[in-house]
Amino acid sequence: MAALTEEQTLIKDQATSWASAEAPVSKFRAMRNEGTDIGFAKPTWSAMVEMGWTGILVPEEYGGSDLGYLTFGLVLEELGKQLAASPLFASAYVGATALLLAGTEAQKSSHLPRIVDGTEIVTLAVDEGPRHAPARTALEAKSEGGKHVLTGSKTLVLEGMSATHFLVVVRSTGKVGEAQGLSLFIVPADAMGLSRRAMKTMDSRGYAELNFDGVEVSDADLMGPAGQAGEVLDEILDRARAGIGAEMLGVGSQAFAMTLDYLKTRKQFGAVIGSFQALGHRAAELFAAMELARSCGEAALQEIDAQSNSVAKACSLSKAKVGDFLHTMSNQLIQIHGGIGMTDEFDAGLYLKRARVLATLYGNQSYHRDRYARLLGF
Amino acid sequence: MTAASDLDGFRSEVSEWVQSNFPSALKGFDLGADSPSDKGVSGEFRAWRQALADKGWGTPTWPKEYGGAGRSDPEAKVIRQEIAKAGAFNPIPPMTGMGVTMVGPTILEYGTDEQKAKHLPGIASGEVRWCLGLSEPNAGSDLASLSTKAVDEGDAFILNGQKIWTSGAHISQWCGAVVRTDPKAKKRDGISFVMLPMDQKGVETRLIKLISGASPFCETFFNEARADKSDLLGDLNDGWSVVKRLLQHERQSQTSAPAAVKIDQEPLQEQAKRYVGTLEDGTLADPDLRLRVVENLMDAEAHKLTVSRITAEAKGQVKVSAAASILKNSMTRVAQTKAELTLEMMGNQGIGWEGEQFSEEELRSVRDWLMGKAMSIYGGSAEIQNNIISKNILGLPETTQQG
């Protein structure tokens, strides 16, 4: 764990005790069993708003506390341990980040206070195909005299069923596959011609597929200059990746704790199975991978807070290394638990499923290995 | 804030001193795998070693009375950084063998005032080289089963037995050895740690030639060798705790020594581009190799970040972070994989043993690759490290299967 300030320690402790008391994995399971389109329980979300977590990234002038990315990461990690579901990440982390980095003053003062008080859920809509590839954006904006008409579709939009606004990545100029020519629009969920459909994913969260059938927006809805959102989009996505990295650390460290506990209690051949060297060594390898991953995950958040010039590298490192650890850890969670790990009644499966969804969000490990190499010039 | 600006002041003091004392003739000198001693080096080298020793900056954190400078860890770091920045080097640690990294810190902790006064100044000045007699032919990973005997003969112990993998024993003046002083006790309880001079009739060394062609290690034979009672380190029959501490220092020196990495070394990806070439989009022409290179670079970065995280966590805390236990294996994996990738990218040029068809860099890469195989064996093998993590860090029970 990084060296924390007193305030960060307080918030982390608050998140730990709140999540285990008020939003334990059993609550997530109950929500899943009921089956909802929005993918979270409303009281859980309201409690998070009340605790002020929605304002962690938001400057005080817009009603937030401006405590930074590492602080938010601590909360995401603790929530990850319990698989606590809410729009906190999509709206108060990614949505707020996008507004802060790309929004106009009018957009910021209109939306940020409402993100903080929970009346708006603002989420980023970027992916369109099976792979995360912002340059392959095809959703088209036809612009004329201050009016823009959006046509196309988006997939895997986080909290897409509960969102009040979408921050939509669109193509203003150029061809699919080009990094240039992208714009970012803020579009209300009830805009004419915009429809959404729930996507039932294995992690039981609230994703949506969006269809834009000639949705009309104006210059006032444009975030930054048209056709030039590529660079700021990268910055937004990097922050989102580091946030996912923090949640992955939480999911992974909980999976490790469950596995270690099982190694110490399950008996076979007259001994606890953790006394078998093959399993002791496997646990040691997993522990090493976890510690290395933690360093990468925390460093990315710290680099963002420090506004360093190596944020992109640090965030790709986090997404890839924490992703690799969680991949192995979630598989071993099932393997070491044996038969019980295969049953739906046991929680292991919930962690495995969440792990795979987190891996695919904003680029999987192979995406980020490739990106890291490009950033290093090979 | 005051501390930081004090450190800045100290930095400029160090920088100025290094500038005016480091002989320019020594720039680019390769400390490398050679084991320099005062006999085999130039007058400038000796003068630079002595100048550093006079400041106590060869071992800056050691107390002044024993030849150190009584400096804090951050100040020691400043000294390391400024020496590196000036293209200079600190020759004292390599000149003392195991002296600065392992023996000295252990004497500081376990030694009597007499022992400290007798042994530390010679290490701090770089004039006395130390080797360690730990492993034996039948006591490797299972070190506690060692059988070299030490018999009490009044004011001395008389040693009989054989040690192996004693680095630099043939050129060392002193040896720290673990010996069995109570053959009847349980194996960990009958061990003591003694220090003895190498220049005596009862000590003989023989070089071991390794697969890399180098011979950095010896077999060391004790035949009625003598260690003064006053050179017993720690309590009689409590040598196992001394050894455990010694090995902790060893692991630390193996994992947190960024100084060992040459600053001007060409990055792995640039070396890869030079040998393999690039495609039109600037990516490496061998996409499979490219992915493995990037993974290695990421692993190296993750290791580096973990070392800094442990340092940050350690501030103001006595307890060593649990993460420190993983560093040896992580460092080893990064280094061994890097060595493999280097040979692979060199291809036909990466298999040379000697001769002018191969560049110096290529020949060195082959030898380094072979030498690197030792990293997962010495100082507690990779498997022993995992035993330590699973038992001491994770709290898993003693293994029920003999392994």
pTM: 0.88
A65: left (phi over 0), alpha (psi -120 to 50) or beta: alpha
| C-beta atoms of A378 and B326 within 8 A | no
Position B110 pLDDT exceeds 60: yes
Confidence of residue A324 (pLDDT cuts 50, 70, 90): very high
The answer to whether B342 touches B363, Cβ cutoff 8 Å, is no
Q: Which residues of A touch B384 (CB under 8 A)?
A: none
B29: left (phi over 0), alpha (psi -120 to 50) or beta: beta
| C-beta atoms of A299 and B389 within 8 A | no
Q: What is the pLDDT of residues B340-399, one digit of tens each?
A: 999 999 999 999 999 999 999 999 999 999 999 999 998 889 999 999 999 999 999 988
> What's the confidence (pLDDT) of residue B43?
84
First to last CA, chain A: 32
Position B250 pLDDT exceeds 90: no
Q: How far apart are CA B125 and CA A335, in angstroms?
A: 55
Position B230 pLDDT exceeds 80: yes
Q: Which residues of B touch A327 (CB under 8 A)?
A: none
Average pLDDT of the residues of chain B: 91
Q: How far apart are CA B68 and CA B83, in angstroms?
A: 16
Mean pLDDT, residues A91-95 = 98
Select the residue from A281, A296, A374 to test the B interface by mutation, using most B Cβ atoms within 10 A: A281
Instruction: Give A199's strand partners.
Output: A207
Confidence of residue B256 (pLDDT cuts 50, 70, 90): low
| C-beta atoms of A275 and B399 within 8 A | yes
Mean pLDDT, residues A269-293 = 97
| C-beta atoms of A277 and B401 within 8 A | yes
Position B402 pLDDT exceeds 70: no
| C-beta atoms of B283 and A378 within 8 A | yes
Phi, psi of B162 (to 5 degrees): -130, 135
**Domains with residue ranges and CATH for chain B:** 2-95 (1.10.540), 130-238 (2.40.110.10), 266-393 (1.20.140.10)
> What's the confidence (pLDDT) of residue A52?
97
User: Which residues fall within 8 angstroms of residue A195, CB to CB, at 6 or more apart?
Assistant: A210, A211, A213
Confidence of residue B322 (pLDDT cuts 50, 70, 90): confident
| C-beta atoms of A376 and B390 within 8 A | no
Q: What is the pLDDT of residues A220-254, one digit of tens each?
A: 999 999 999 999 999 999 999 999 999 999 999 99
Fold for the domain defined by A231-375: Butyryl-CoA Dehydrogenase, subunit A; domain 3 (1.20.140)
Of residues B299, B297, B305, B302, the one with CA closest to residue B269: B297
For residue A249, the distance in angstroms to the closest alpha carbon of chain B comes to 14
Confidence of residue B32 (pLDDT cuts 50, 70, 90): low
Nearest C-alpha in B relative to A265 = B396
Mean pLDDT, residues A79-104 = 98
Confidence of residue B253 (pLDDT cuts 50, 70, 90): confident
Q: Which residues of B touch A293 (CB under 8 A)?
A: 302
| C-beta atoms of A292 and B390 within 8 A | no
Share of chain B above pLDDT 90, in %: 77
> What's the confidence (pLDDT) of residue B1?
41
> What's the confidence (pLDDT) of residue A147?
94
Q: What is the pLDDT of residues B113-170, one digit of tens each?
A: 999 999 999 999 999 999 999 999 999 889 999 999 999 999 999 999 999 999 999 9
For residue A274, give the nearest of B305, B383, B397 by CB distance: B397
| C-beta atoms of B312 and A272 within 8 A | no
In chain A, where are the structural domains located?
6-120, 123-227, 231-375
Q: What is the pLDDT of residues A35-69, one digit of tens each?
A: 888 999 999 999 999 999 999 999 999 999 999 99
Average pLDDT of the residues of chain A: 97
Share of chain A above pLDDT 90, in %: 97
Fold for the domain defined by A123-227: Butyryl-CoA Dehydrogenase, subunit A; domain 2 (2.40.110)
Residues of B classed as catalytic: 250
> What's the confidence (pLDDT) of residue B261?
46
Confidence of residue B265 (pLDDT cuts 50, 70, 90): confident
Tell me the CATH architecture of domain A6-120. Answer: Orthogonal Bundle (1.10)
Locate all alpha helices (DSSP H) within A35-189, ordered by sequence.
42-50, 69-81, 96-102, 105-116
Nearest C-alpha in B relative to A276 = B399
> What's the confidence (pLDDT) of residue B44?
86
| C-beta atoms of A295 and B399 within 8 A | no
Q: Would you state the structure tokens that stand for residue B369, as one six-digit string?
A: 């690759």
Q: What is the pLDDT of residues A193-223, one digit of tens each?
A: 999 999 999 999 999 999 999 999 999 999 9
For residue B309, give the nearest of A2, A275, A280 by CB distance: A2
Q: Would you state the structure tokens that stand for residue A98, as one six-digit string?
A: 């996008």
Confidence of residue B403 (pLDDT cuts 50, 70, 90): very low
Q: Which residues of A touch B278 (CB under 8 A)?
A: 378
Position B2 pLDDT exceeds 70: no
ipTM confidence score: 0.94
Select the residue from A6, A277, A296, A301 to test the B interface by mutation, using most B Cβ atoms within 10 A: A277
> What's the confidence (pLDDT) of residue B4?
67
Instruction: Say whether B354 sits in a helix, a strand or coil.
Output: coil
Q: Which residues of A touch B303 (CB under 8 A)?
A: 292
Nearest C-alpha in B relative to A367 = B291
For residue B315, give the nearest of A3, A274, A275 by CB distance: A3
Select the residue from A264, A292, A367, A372 to test the B interface by mutation, using most B Cβ atoms within 10 A: A292
Position B258 pLDDT exceeds 50: no
Of residues A90, A376, A250, the one with CA closest to residue B298: A376
For residue A357, the distance in angstroms to the closest alpha carbon of chain B comes to 22
Q: How far apart are CA A89 and CA B292, in angstroms?
A: 33
